[in-house]
């Protein structure tokens, strides 16, 4: 695989030609080995291929694939196997869409645009993908029977503002107001979430409104590295298909860019994956009933351990600031 490919020049045909044969059910032992080999382009490509396969073709395999990848990255042994699941074929048009998202806008991505770009790939998957994604979401043990749950009510800033100063609600209120965040990240109606099948409708709605709550309770900061980390946590927790797509995109983009930062990226994903697997299921917690309590109280009540990654949460921001500091003589 050409690991020095210029992302802005790679079209769908060249991406498909170089990469499509790797997007298939992986061999567990080979994937485990490849996941721990950060410098070899062929091994990075094998890992990216497995993530693209589980995200865009075989969503029910995500847990087994990420278990293997995380174990390989962190040099952990285990009796691991890729789940034998149904898959949906990818149409040729998918590769054109994926190439466009990989290239990105001329000025680069911000948090909002990358979310919209990756989410748009869902329109290019195979015709048989939707029922597979619904079945995977409905059956994930951490999803807490989402197909039977009613759509959650909107979060009110007013409700949050009248809770005690040290409560989860007031901490969330400060986070939202100080950063200009929307209580639900993105508008659920404009996204068409009501048109989704029952399990996906509930889960996607719930994680939009709980994303910042999970940041606080699970110990993830609102930095670039920790947004990647919390995506891995969400995928581990309830099989969040968008998070799987986002991580596949991030890993493939790092690989195609020559592997810059690849080891840091994979270690963060692996650590957050294990964090999600080892903590209790957040989807089963009605956080609105605990608005009045402090984050420490909630963690103790549910046995939640905050994320402790190997790298500073703001590492990307520090690295981005270095050229500016150097040019100013700081």
The position carrying tokens 């190997």 is: 310
The structure's pTM equals 0.93
What's residue 3's pLDDT?
Answer: 40
Q: Distance (Å, rounded) from C-alpha 235 to C-alpha 218?
A: 14
pLDDT of residue 259: 84
As a whole number of angstroms, the distance between CA 206 and CA 31 comes to 32
pLDDT of the residue at 5: 47
pLDDT of residue 83: 96
Helix axes 295-302, 168-179, angle to 10 degrees: 120
| pLDDT given for residue 188 in this prediction | 73
pLDDT tens digit sequence for 60-103: 999 999 999 999 999 998 778 999 999 999 999 999 999 999 99
In the predicted model, residues of the chain with pLDDT beneath 70 are: 1-8, 185-187, 190-191, 323-330
Looking at residue 79, what is its pLDDT?
74
The predicted pLDDT at position 4 comes to 42
Instruction: Please tell me the predicted confidence (pLDDT) of residue 322.
Output: 81
């Amino acid at each position: 695989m050409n690991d020095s490919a210029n992302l802005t020049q790679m079209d769908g045909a060249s991406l498909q030609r170089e990469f499509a044969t790797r997007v298939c059910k992986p061999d567990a032992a080979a994937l485990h080995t490849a996941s721990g080999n950060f410098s070899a382009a062929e091994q990075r490509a094998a890992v990216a291929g497995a993530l693209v396969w589980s995200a865009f073709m075989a969503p029910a395999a995500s847990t087994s694939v990420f278990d293997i990848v995380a174990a390989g990255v962190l040099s952990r042994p285990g009796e691991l196997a890729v789940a034998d699941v149904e898959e949906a074929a990818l149409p040729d048009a998918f590769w054109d869409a994926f190439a466009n998202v990989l290239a990105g806008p001329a000025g680069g991505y911000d948090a909002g645009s990358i979310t919209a770009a990756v989410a748009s790939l869902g329109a290019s998957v195979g015709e048989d993908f939707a029922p597979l994604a619904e079945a995977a979401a409905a059956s994930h043990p951490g999803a807490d029977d989402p197909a039977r749950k009613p759509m959650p009510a909107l979060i009110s800033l007013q409700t949050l503002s009248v809770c005690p100063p040290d409560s989860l609600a007031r901490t969330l209120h400060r986070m939202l107001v100080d950063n200009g965040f929307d209580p639900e990240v993105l508008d659920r109606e404009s996204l068409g979430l009501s048109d989704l099948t029952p399990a996906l409708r509930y889960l996607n709605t719930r994680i939009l409104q709980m994303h910042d709550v999970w940041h606080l309770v699970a110990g993830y900061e609102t930095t670039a590295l920790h947004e990647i980390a919390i995506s891995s946590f969400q995928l581990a927790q309830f099989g969040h298909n968008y998070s799987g797509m986002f991580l596949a995109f991030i890993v493939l983009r790092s690989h195609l860019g020559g592997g810059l930062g690849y080891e840091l990226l994979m270690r963060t994903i692996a650590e957050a994956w294990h964090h999600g697997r080892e903590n209790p299921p957040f989807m089963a917690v009605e956080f609105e009933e605990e608005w009045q309590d402090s984050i420490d109280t909630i963690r103790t009540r549910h046995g939640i351990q905050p994320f402790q990654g190997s790298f500073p949460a703001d590492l990307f921001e520090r690295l981005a600031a270095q050229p500016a500091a150097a040019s100013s003589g700081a």
